Amino acid sequence: MTMTGRSTEEREPISDREQKRVALSYLREAWAEAQLDGVDADCLAQACLFAALAEFVTTYGEEAAATFTEGLGKRIRNGEFSLEQQRQ
């Protein structure tokens, strides 16, 4: 038996950019569902950051993860993570 929307056939590898787009889509869907269940957005954000950093540490080690996070402040201040406000 196969799951709906998934195939057991071999697929061509997808690019990192496409994988990131798909991953973000899954996260946005889970985020919306959690909010519908009453989970606070701040709690979701903190849980996502924890899960992401834990994955970086597991994959790359503590020192590499720490080095990566050192640049986040500058990237945040430069607006890299700011969502554009829709103009009305």
pTM of the model: 0.71
Give every residue of the chain whose pLDDT is below 70, as ranges. 1-9, 85-88
What are the domain boundaries of the chain? 16-77
pLDDT of residue 43: 97
Gap between the Cα atoms of 24 and 16, Å rounded: 12
pLDDT of residue 88: 43
pLDDT of residue 21: 94
Q: Measured on CA atoms in the order 4, 13, 54, 59, is the torsion positive or negative?
A: positive
